[in-house]
A and B are shown apart, each in its own frame.
Chain A
Amino acid sequence: MSVVALAPGYTGTVMDSEDRFHGNRLLYIGWEDHLLFCAPVCLPLPGAMPFGALVSDVLPGVYGSHPDFEKVDWSKVEWFDSGKPFTPDAKKSLAENGLGHKSVIRFRTPGLEGIRGSRS
């Protein structure tokens, strides 16, 4: 059963429904092998944002402080959506790339192994 309650038919308020985020949807992003950033980040973004703009305008602000960031070769980056490999189209929007509310993506930058190779 979906909850133990005093009476049948109990439902709870969904606190993070998409309509609560002022026209944005949540996207979680993780940079593999770079645990200096202790966990994936969470960002509210417009579904219409082009994926390319995520890479050029958003990621530098999030990850630019890491010494590996300027070495990233974006043509070789591997992307994952909920752990499955995916090839984003930079010109299409987040929504058109299949990224809905609370999607989680990761990117892997082969050859870059964090601070002194520690995966930090």
Chain B
Amino acid sequence: MHDRVWYLSVPKSYFEDAMSAGPFEFITAISFSFEYVLTNLLFMPFMSGAAYNGDMATVTFGFSAQSDESRHMTLGLEVVKFILEQDPDNVPIVQKWVDKWFWRGYRLLTLVAMMMDYMLPKRVMSWSEAWEMYFEKNGGALFEDLARYGIRMPKYHEVASKEKSRISHEAWAIFNNYGHAANFNVWAPKQDEMTWLAEKYPETFDRLYRPRFEWLAEQEKQGKRWFNNTLPMLCQTCQIPTAFTEPDDPTKICYRETSYHGMKYHFCSDGCKDVFEGEPEKYVQAWLPVHQIYQGNCFPEGTDPTVEGFNPLAAVLDYYHIDVGADNGEFNTSPDKANWERWTGQDLSPGEPKVA
């Protein structure tokens, strides 16, 4: 499944990019940029969120992983400093890697932002608060320390700051568009959850996101649960649907494109476009799930797409090994909900506040 399901191509392409980049870029990408600069954004909210909601299995895994991370981040930082101390010609090379891997790691963390703001019964903090604490403050201090080597803050960090009030909502919107093709359930946030979201995102939530979530909830109540029946445009670099908005206008999709050897390539942001333009021969090879589906490469072996009544979506979900009606779609009609209610005695019906 990990090499088939559409949204899993996001982390897969991230790690394959690093693994095919040579050892020096790899260590800058993973040990430094991911396991040091961005690690707190994965582990702190993730593990705190798990603990806060009684998921001690995840916490146990998290503590174990964090002990590895502390070794890796020390290694990453020391290797990067060593490279910078060896030769001034290394500074622009390392800066380019820092820029690229900050942006790739930041886009990967979109999924964490969504999880923190929308998928925890009891929320620890908002993505916006986590970004302020763990990147703007902590990360800012780290880069002040590296300034003596000639390294500056990563390119487009100010875009990440502008986006902190939006990406979790934009990402949850992606999964509420395509939840029928995911292997987990999705749902519209309830009223008490939206009260929390409005409080944490006073500038954006009520104006831009509440109306569409309330509309989705209304459709579901009428038995017309809405999903998007057309596949999305994906970013060539990060492979996420291009649902991100212009840095200065959250009502407009951010379209970026470039041309290479006579063909167009599309991106969600300047950051992803820069990554492509840095090494186009690498990223023209991207296995983009939507394009692969349209090429006919995502059906089970032996499928004949020309037969009468062929259902491409059903064939793709079969190829993904998704158990339709159980794994995917709306939470409120899922076996997960029925099981949870049976095990805990809680009533998770729409209209009732979620009890933690």
A residues at B contact (CB < 8 Å): 2-5, 10-17, 20-22, 24, 26, 28, 30, 32-33, 35-44, 61-62, 65, 82-83, 100-104, 106, 114-120
Chain A CB within 8 A of B282 CB: yes
Sample of 18 A–B contacts (CB below 8 Å): A2-B280, A3-B282, A5-B281, A12-B282, A12-B284, A13-B284, A13-B285, A14-B285, A15-B286, A20-B295, A28-B266, A35-B251, A39-B241, A62-B229, A83-B255, A103-B264, A115-B215, A118-B212
Chain A CB within 8 A of B253 CB: yes
A36 to B214, CA, bound (A): 11
Q: Which residues of A contact B233 (CB under 8 A)?
A: 28, 30, 39-42, 104
Q: Which residues 189-212 in B have Cβ within 8 Å of A in the complex?
A: 207-212
Q: Which residues of B contact A5 (CB under 8 A)?
A: 281
Cβ of B220 to closest chain A Cβ, rounded Å? 13
Q: Which residues of B contact A120 (CB under 8 A)?
A: 208-209, 211-212, 215
A82 to B259, CA, bound (A): 12
A42 to B139, CA, bound (A): 37
Q: Are A39 and B232 in contact (CB under 8 A)?
A: yes
Residue of B nearest to A2 (CB): B281
Q: Which residues of A contact B177 (CB under 8 A)?
A: 37-39
Contacts A35-B173, A120-B211 given: A82-B257 contact, CB under 8 Å? Answer: yes
Residue-by-residue, is B273-293 near A (CB-CB < 8 Å gives 1, otherwise 0)? Answer: 000000111101111101110
Q: Are B288 and A104 in contact (CB under 8 A)?
A: no
Q: Are A36 and B212 in contact (CB under 8 A)?
A: yes
A4 to B275, CA, bound (A): 13
Cβ of B235 to closest chain A Cβ, rounded Å? 9
Q: Which residues of A contact B174 (CB under 8 A)?
A: 38-39
A30 to B255, CA, bound (A): 10
Residue of B nearest to A24 (CB): B294
Chain A CB within 8 A of B242 CB: yes
Residue of A nearest to B227 (CB): A65
Given A14-B285, A32-B253, 6 other A-B residues pairs in contact with their CB atoms under 8 A = A4-B21, A35-B243, A38-B170, A41-B230, A115-B215, A118-B210
Chain A CB within 8 A of B231 CB: yes
The list of the 7 closest CB pairs from A to B, nearest first, reads A120-B212, A3-B281, A118-B211, A119-B251, A39-B241, A12-B285, A41-B230
Q: Which residues of A contact B280 (CB under 8 A)?
A: 2-3
Q: Which residues of B contact A32 (CB under 8 A)?
A: 252-253
Q: Which residues 234-251 in B have Cβ within 8 Å of A in the complex?
A: 234, 241-243, 245, 251
Cβ of B244 to closest chain A Cβ, rounded Å? 9
Residue of B nearest to A116 (CB): B211
Q: Which residues of B contact A36 (CB under 8 A)?
A: 212, 215
Q: Are A38 and B211 in contact (CB under 8 A)?
A: no
Q: Which residues of A contact B212 (CB under 8 A)?
A: 35-36, 114-115, 118, 120
Contacts A12-B285, A120-B211, A120-B212 given: A38-B228 contact, CB under 8 Å? Answer: yes
Chain A CB within 8 A of B296 CB: yes
Chain A CB within 8 A of B25 CB: yes
Contacts A39-B174, A118-B207 given: A61-B252 contact, CB under 8 Å? Answer: no
Residue-by-residue, is B2-34 near A (CB-CB < 8 Å gives 1, otherwise 0)? Answer: 000000000000000000011001000000000
Partner of B229, one of A28, A61, A103: A61
A120 to B210, CA, bound (A): 10
Contacts A2-B280, A15-B284, A104-B255 given: A39-B294 contact, CB under 8 Å? Answer: no
Residue of A nearest to B22 (CB): A4
Contacts A21-B295, A115-B215, A120-B208 given: A2-B279 contact, CB under 8 Å? Answer: yes
A33 to B250, CA, bound (A): 10
Q: Are A39 and B263 in contact (CB under 8 A)?
A: no
Q: Which residues of A contact B291 (CB under 8 A)?
A: 15-16, 26, 42
Q: Which residues of B contact A20 (CB under 8 A)?
A: 295
Contacts A26-B294, A38-B170 given: A102-B251 contact, CB under 8 Å? Answer: no
